């Protein structure tokens, strides 16, 4: 059966598979990490500027409509092929959902909470760190979760610009019409995506402050 | 851009193919999601099951999904369209169901009290009022579908992706630019048009 | 004590100033109620005391110090602040919420825990039950009690309260108002209280400032406000049942006569107010009531004519 053939392929080429898997995870994790490190602080900095937030959300919404493969491909004439260009493109793909969710979440924090906190004598930083960010965390994390799936999914396409990863098996499989190889790429990639979604869903629930969890 | 000047017919063909498969997939998904969405709006169980299943489908990476369909339906447009419909269903079913559920209960109650039948209420009250939310879902689905269609060129479905792939394998940058930028432009244009329709619908509802 | 002098605040695009040359003094330990129609500037004035809004002109000094000369953050840590929607932090327990300012001030853990329990008791909530709960588990009335406890936590000499009971149903509101009066009896705080409800103002206030279009129209104790309204606006604002409202401010024990009268059949407690007494008399079709103290001991008799005397009947005739 096809699955058995696919499994045998992995057994026959353990190094190749492990290499592709590692690259895939590394690419995804790095892109996600970079995107979080950039998008969340920007969201926080823009929090008290209405126009700034609107601008950021508009820009991010624009970015979100762009087809993933188009973004990856357009990086190639600029940065060439390989791990780094792929990382660059994937980070770009991960930024919009995180930025949108961070901005929206901070905007939606109940204004009375901020008023009470300021009125009691918290500094701006204290209000942000002790009240706004914790209350906004669930929505911010939902954005990170969305971005994680998008990144793992995009990393499959990174194969086209020489980024490596599990997509290599899929493209090779299609090119040679070798179905087992196809599955060697497709199934682990799917599992990774589902795994990321599950992991960040779990983190989201864990990081939601106890007092705010849905009962 | 000289290349574009000489080959704009090629680009138009690719663009045409792209639009055709996208539109076909969206049409199928739209009708399917209407049916399932209406059922899901009425039944909590159907809602949760439908969301869970389509949510699972949506998480599958695009290329992996297309690849997994190859042993089943081979290469070509059918494969691409199945994938696009699957991805669209998640968003559209959810939006149809939520849109209908968000219709104020007192409005439906008044309609029923005036003697409207269930089917009348659905057609004349619930669906029209749910339209902004449904169109919002259609908007996301459209953008998703256009994105999938770019990748689907690799499995012989045609579309703007053919330009991109040709450009990559021949290391010919102009094709990459044209293919990439045109597909971006298409996605943005579709999104903006639907956004405008969505806004207009919301204004009408107020 | 709080001194406001010539306070002015203009918002861009507004036809007239939100606060227009306001001058008033709140003596120490006094509950000063700011009241008036929407847009009269009462909330804006209050928020200028803790500099959530900055004045355009004039000065405010709290405890002798001009508020603009103090860092706003430390100013606010020394002023209790209670708002209508309470604003309890949903991600913190009740104990953490109450401990907010003490934590900001760097109190020790033990001192904070003791203070939290003390305050929960003071606002009538059992500490062991409520300490570890979260805001969403509380009713509206309970939330506002916690809100008051939170404002009292660092024992500030001054408190600002912006329609704190406005979001509650009438029964809960009345109960919290009574509790608030009870709490105040043990503490000595200078309080600025904003409301749009004249009955609440009359019930809670030592002095009432009536504002209109940013200007002070009358600033008086409740009895004086009811007896001598400054103009037609105040008269209508206070309500056409002024006389009855005045009766609401006086307790039966202040109006009773002791000797010489036969004991009536109907009775009221000594701490009931004259308006309720009048109502009881009308209900029962009688002209007098026995006033009872603790254990039902008859302290004296309250007559209809005594009530009439206490409405200051003829006062308005004197004013004309």
Judged by CB atoms closer than 8 Å, whether chains meet at B143 and A65 is answered as: yes
Alpha-carbon distance of A136 to C227, in angstroms, equals 53
CA distance C253 to B21: 89
Q: How far apart are CA C226 and CA C243, in angstroms?
A: 8
- Predicted pLDDT at C320: 41
Domain that holds residue B52: 2-205
pLDDT computed for residue C251 by the predictor: 85
Say if residue C259's pLDDT is above 70. Answer: no
CATH of the domain at B43: 1.10.3720.10
Chain A contact present for B168, CB below 8 A: yes
The answer to whether B181 contacts A74, with C-beta atoms less than 8 Å apart, is yes
Per-residue model confidence as pLDDT tens digits over B123-163: 888 888 888 899 999 999 999 999 999 999 988 888 899 99
So what's the ipTM on this one?
A: 0.85
* DSSP letter string, C76-122: HHTEEEEETT----TTS-HHHHHTHHHHHHT--HHHHHHHHHHHHHH
- Residues of chain C neighbouring A122 (CB-CB closer than 8 A): 73, 100, 104
pLDDT at A207: 84
pLDDT tens digits for C181-222? 988 888 889 999 999 999 999 999 999 999 999 999 999 999
Residue C46: which pLDDT band, with cuts at 50, 70 and 90?
very high
Domain A2-208: homologous superfamily in CATH: MetI-like (1.10.3720.10)
Q: Do C83 and A115 touch (CB under 8 A)?
A: yes
Partners of C212 in the beta sheet?
C215
CA angle at residue C155 from C127 to C190, to 5 degrees?
120
Q: For residue B18, what pLDDT is reported?
A: 92
Is the Cβ pair C88, A116 closer than 8 Å?
yes
Question: How far out from the chain centre does Cα C137 lie?
Answer: 27
Q: Hey, what are C72's tokens?
A: 């706003």
Region B27-48: mean pLDDT is 90
The tally of domains found in chain B comes to 1
DSSP for chain A, please give it: -HHHHHHHHHHH-HHHHHHHHHHHHHHHHHHHHHHHHHHHHHHHHTTT-HHHHHHHHHHHHHHHHS-HHHHHHHHHHHH-SSHHHHHHHHHHHHHHHHHHHHHHHHHHS-HHHHHHHHHTT--HHHIIIIIIHHHHHHHHHHHHHHHHHHHHHHHHHGGGGT--STHHHHHHHHHHT-HHHHHHHHHHHHHHHHHHHHHHHHHHHHHS-GGGS--
Q: What is the pLDDT of residue C80?
A: 92
Q: How many CB pairs under 8 A join A and C?
A: 73
Residue C318 pLDDT exceeds 50 = no
Could you tell me the two tokens for B49? 């099951």
The pLDDT score that the predictor gives to residue C10 is 92
Output the pLDDT for position C312.
Answer: 67
Residue C87 to chain A, least CA–CA distance (Å):
4
Cα separation, B21 vs B159, in Å, equals: 8
Give me the pLDDT at residue C293, please: 83
Substitution target from C46, C62, C82, C87 for chain A, most A beta carbons within 10 A = C87
Work out the minimum CA distance from B86 to partner chain A, whole angstroms: 15
Which residue ranges of chain A lie beneath pLDDT 50?
A: none
Task: Give me A128's structure tokens.
Answer: 């942000």
Burial class of residue C262 in the structure, from the number of CB atoms within 10 Å of its CB (0-12 exposed, 13-18 middle, 19+ buried): exposed
Record: contact B176-A174, CB cut-off 8 A: no
Distance from CA of A31 to the nearest CA of C (A): 30
What value does the CA radius of gyration of chain A take, rounded to a whole number of Å? 20
The residue of chain A nearest to residue C84, with distances taken between CA atoms, is A112
The ranges assigned to domains in chain A are 2-208
Provide, as residue numbers in chain A, all residues whose Cβ is less than 8 Å from the Cβ of C78: 121
A19 contact C CB<8A: no
CA B197/CA A188 separation, integer angstroms: 40
Mean pLDDT of chain C: 89
H/E stretch holding C203 reads helix C198-204
Using CB atoms, pick whichever of A65, A182, A194 lies closest to residue B191. A65
What gap in Å lies between CA B145 and CA B58, rounded to an integer?
12
A92 in B contact zone (CB under 8 Å): no
* CB contacts, 8 Å: A171 with chain B: 154
């Amino acid at each position: 059966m096809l699955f058995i053939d696919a499994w045998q392929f992995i057994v026959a080429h353990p190094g190749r598979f492990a290499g592709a898997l590692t690259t895939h995870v590394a690419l995804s994790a790095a892109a996600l990490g970079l995107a979080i490190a950039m998008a969340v602080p920007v969201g926080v900095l823009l929090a008290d500027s209405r126009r700034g937030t609107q601008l950021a959300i508009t820009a991010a919404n624009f970015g979100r409509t762009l087809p993933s493969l188009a973004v990856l491909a357009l990086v190639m004439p600029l940065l060439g092929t390989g791990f780094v260009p792929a990382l660059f493109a994937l980070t770009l793909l991960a930024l919009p959902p995180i930025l949108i969710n961070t901005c929206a979440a901070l905007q939606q924090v109940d204004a009375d909470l901020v008023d009470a906190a300021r009125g009691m004598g918290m500094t701006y930083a204290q209000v942000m760190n002790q009240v706004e960010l914790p209350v906004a965390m669930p929505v911010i994390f939902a954005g990170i979760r969305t971005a994680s799936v998008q990144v793992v999914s995009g990393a499959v396409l990174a194969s086209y610009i020489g980024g490596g990863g599990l997509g290599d098996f899929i493209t090779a499989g299609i090119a040679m019409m070798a179905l087992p190889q196809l599955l060697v790429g497709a199934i682990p990639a799917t599992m990774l995506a589902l795994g990321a979604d599950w992991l960040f869903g779990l983190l989201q629930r864990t990081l939601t402050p106890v007092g705010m969890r849905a009962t | 851009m000289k290349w574009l000047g000489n080959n704009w017919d090629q680009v138009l063909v690719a663009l045409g193919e792209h639009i055709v498969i996208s539109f076909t997939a969206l049409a199928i998904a739209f009708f399917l999601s209407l049916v399932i969405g209406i059922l899901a709006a009425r039944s909590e169980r159907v809602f949760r099951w439908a969301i869970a299943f389509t949510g699972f489908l949506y998480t599958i990476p695009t290329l992996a999904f297309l690849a997994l369909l190859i042993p089943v339906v081979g290469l070509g447009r059918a494969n691409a369209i199945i994938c696009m419909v699957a991805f669209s269903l998640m968003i559209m079913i959810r939006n149809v169901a939520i849109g209908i559920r968000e219709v104020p209960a007192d409005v439906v109650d008044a309609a029923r009290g005036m003697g409207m039948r269930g089917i009348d209420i659905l057609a004349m009250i619930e669906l029209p009022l749910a339209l902004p939310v449904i169109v919002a879902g259609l908007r996301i689905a459209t953008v998703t579908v256009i994105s999938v269609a770019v990748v689907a060129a690799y499995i012989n479905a045609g579309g703007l992706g053919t330009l991109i792939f040709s450009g990559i394998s021949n290391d010919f940058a102009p094709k990459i630019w044209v293919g990439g930028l045109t597909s971006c432009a298409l996605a943005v244009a579709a999104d903006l048009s639907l956004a405008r329709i969505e806004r207009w619908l919301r204004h009408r509802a107020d | 004590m709080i001194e406001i002098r010539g306070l002015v605040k203009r918002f861009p695009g507004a036809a007239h100033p939100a606060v227009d040359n306001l001058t008033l003094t709140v003596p120490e330990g006094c509950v000063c109620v700011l009241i008036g129609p929407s847009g009269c500037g009462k909330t804006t004035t209050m928020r200028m005391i803790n500099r959530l809004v900055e004045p355009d002109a004039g000065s405010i000094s709290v405890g002798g110090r001009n508020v603009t000369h103090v860092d706003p953050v430390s100013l606010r840590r020394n002023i209790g602040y209670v708002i209508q929607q309470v604003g309890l932090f949903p991600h913190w327990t009740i104990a953490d919420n109450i401990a907010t300012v003490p934590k900001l001030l760097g109190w020790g853990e033990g001192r904070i825990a003791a203070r939290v329990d003390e305050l929960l008791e003071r606002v009538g909530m059992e500490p062991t039950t409520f300490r570890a709960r979260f805001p969403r588990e509380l009713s509206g009335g309970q939330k506002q009690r916690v809100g008051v406890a939170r404002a009292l936590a660092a024992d500030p000499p001054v408190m600002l309260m912006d329609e704190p009971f406005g979001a509650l149903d009438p029964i809960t509101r009345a109960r919290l108002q009574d509790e608030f009066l009870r709490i105040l009896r043990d503490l000595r705080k200078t309080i600025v209280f904003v409301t749009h409800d004249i009955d609440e103002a009359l019930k809670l206030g030592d002095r009432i400032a009536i504002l209109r279009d940013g200007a002070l129209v009358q600033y008086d104790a409740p009895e004086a406000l009811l007896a001598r309204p400054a103009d037609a606006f105040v008269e209508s604002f206070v309500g056409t049942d002024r006389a009855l409202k005045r009766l609401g401010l006086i307790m039966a024990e202040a109006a009773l006569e002791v000797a010489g009268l036969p004991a009536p059949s109907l009775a009221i407690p000594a701490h009931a107010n004259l308006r309720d007494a009048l109502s009881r008399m009308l209900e029962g079709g009688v002209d007098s009531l026995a006033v009872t103290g603790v254990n039902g001991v008859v302290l004296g008799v309250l007559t209809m004519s005594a009530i009439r005397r206490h409405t200051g009947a003829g006062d308005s005739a004197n004013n004309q």
